[in-house]
Each structure stands twice: as structure tokens, then as C-alpha cells.
Amino acid sequence: MTAGSEPAVGRAVGAYLDHLAVERGLAANSLSSYRRDLERYAAFLAASDRSRLSEVDEALVADFLASLRTGDDQHAPLAASSAGRAVVAVRGLHRFALREGWTSGDPAREVKPPVPARRLPKALPVDQVEALLRAPDEATPLGLRDRALLELLYGTGARISEAVGLDVDDLDTGPGTGSDTGLVRLDGKGGKQRIVPVGSYAVRAVQAYLVRARPALAARGTGTPALLLNARGGRLSRQSAWTVLRSAALRAGLTAEVSPHTLRHCFATHLLDGGADVRVVQELLGHASVTTTQVYTLVTVDRLREVWAASHPRARRAPQSSTRGS
């Protein structure tokens, strides 16, 4: 193929896929996805009587994106994430054609992939959280540890990785912190530290664990400053902490989906439901931007709407007016 001479769409797609495989070293699965998306694009262009990429304009690329979302006789509608992947492939193809000198412009440059719908965080009702926290068997050392872990996750909004990374000295329940409350130092993302209050429930659970369980667990290991220990006396891993959470959910009989961030989501949502300022919640969660925290306000607005609809006398459907005959 002579440099600068434009090939037909099918050959252009083949050349681009070769480029991705040889020069970019794209993985086989990714290459297969690109091939599937670009073959669909080539078929769309053929149905639109376009045999060369130079014949494509921005409106046609936008029409292709719309066809992905609506589907046709041969294809089901694609979710935003799948359609976005196809648009990325198409944009790459047109950039490649421009770089090779086959086209004089890039009609796909301004066509943006669809934004996937934001998934709202899952927050359990307070009564289900309490059932989850009560689930561990506190008659055993591991049960005491599990209760301390769960109370810390819900009481501080810590990520699981932050909780298992705690050392004993990171928790302060001494004088000056309040009669039965404390403070904890959490190491967040990017090495950023933050100080978060710890409520009385979490403090009592941690103290019970430190007195009645940690010494026995520590005796099985070689010595570690970690607050939360595994059965062998070493630091509890993130995976094991996630297993603790899942096991507690099963013991509590919860049917809702539980994820590693469940108690963190509950912490944020319940604070906002209780009237906390979103910027305070941002600081407690360790979010770099308040925009990240504001997703929880969407959950709270939904909750406010439910309460309003159930409680306000004007929220109920108005009666149909009847027309009286004269």
C-alpha cells in the first residue's frame, strides 16, 4: 500500500488492527474487541454508501454512536460502557488514518463516548448495619477482633485497606479525646494522613479486643505493631477483612449486596441523613475533591424525596376535578 493512497474502509481497518497488534502490542482480548467494534463500524459505513474514511463526516460518526445505543435488527442496544468502547476504537481508527495521510481531517475527534450512568453507592439502613455489627461471636478472640474491625469501619468511614493498615499507636483513646471517644490516624490514598473521631461503640469494641483477644493472637506471631491480627499473629490482610465482612453479613441474614466499601458508604450516607455538611464528610472520608463526596448527596436526596412523598399532605395525588352540568 503506497503511503498517502487511501485504502477502502475494510483495508484501513485491517491496517489499523495490524498497527495495534504489532506496534502497540495490544493484548489478544483487546484486539478482538477492537476488531468486532470496527467491523460493525465498517458495515455501518457500507450501509451509508461510504467506501473511504475520507467520505465520513462528524454527523455520520455521531449517527453510528446513536445506532449503538438504539440497536437494530442484528444488534441489541449497547450499554453506555460498551458503546463508549466502540467509539474509542472508531476515534483511534480515524486518528490513524489522518496520521497515515489517508484523510485530511479527523471527523471523530469531537464525538465523545457516552458517559455511563453513575452508580449510586449502596447504603444499608441503620438497623441492618447494627445487625451486621452484632454478628461476630464475641466469645472468641477472632470474634472480638471482627467486632472491632466492623465497628471501626462504620464508626470512622475508613477504607478496608486503611483499617488493616492501622497500628496500635494510631488509635488514641487517652485523656483529652473525650470521656469514651477517641481519635484515629488513617493513612489514605497517596500517603495522605487524616485524623478521624472514633465513637464510643468503636472505642469499647477496640478496647475489648485489645484486652481480651489481641495478646493471645500476638503470642502466636513474631511481634508486629499492627492493631488487627490474623489467627497466626500477623497483620490482618485486606482480603481476610473482606471475608470477615461477608461472613458477618451472612450471619446477620442480610440479603442486600455487601461490598468492601459497604460500611464506608453507610458512614457517609448516614452522616448526611443526619444533617452533616458535605465538606465535613469529605474530610472524614479523605476525598481530595468534594465532587467525589457529592455522589452521596444524591442518595440522601432520594431518601428525602421518599420521606416527603410519604409524609407531606400535598405529596399525595390530587383528586380528579369533576365537571358539573349546568
Residue numbers annotated as active site: 159, 189, 261, 264, 287, 296
**Helix, strand or coil, per DSSP, at residue 102:** coil
> How many Cβ atoms sit within 10 Å of the Cβ of residue 53?
26
The rounded distance, in Å, linking the Cα atoms of 124 and 132 is 10
The rounded distance, in Å, linking the Cα atoms of 243 and 253 is 15
- Find the helix packing angle between 141-156 and 238-251, rounded to 10°: 100
Grid cell at residue 171? 488509635
Q: What is the 3-state secondary structure (H, E, C) of 305-319?
A: HHHHHHHCCCCCCCC
Exposure of 130 by Cβ count < 10 A (0-12 exposed, 13-18 middle, 19+ buried)? middle
Q: Do 213 and 228 touch, CB atoms closer than 8 A? A: no
**Helix, strand or coil, per DSSP, at residue 268:** helix
**Helix, strand or coil, per DSSP, at residue 33:** helix
**Helix, strand or coil, per DSSP, at residue 194:** strand
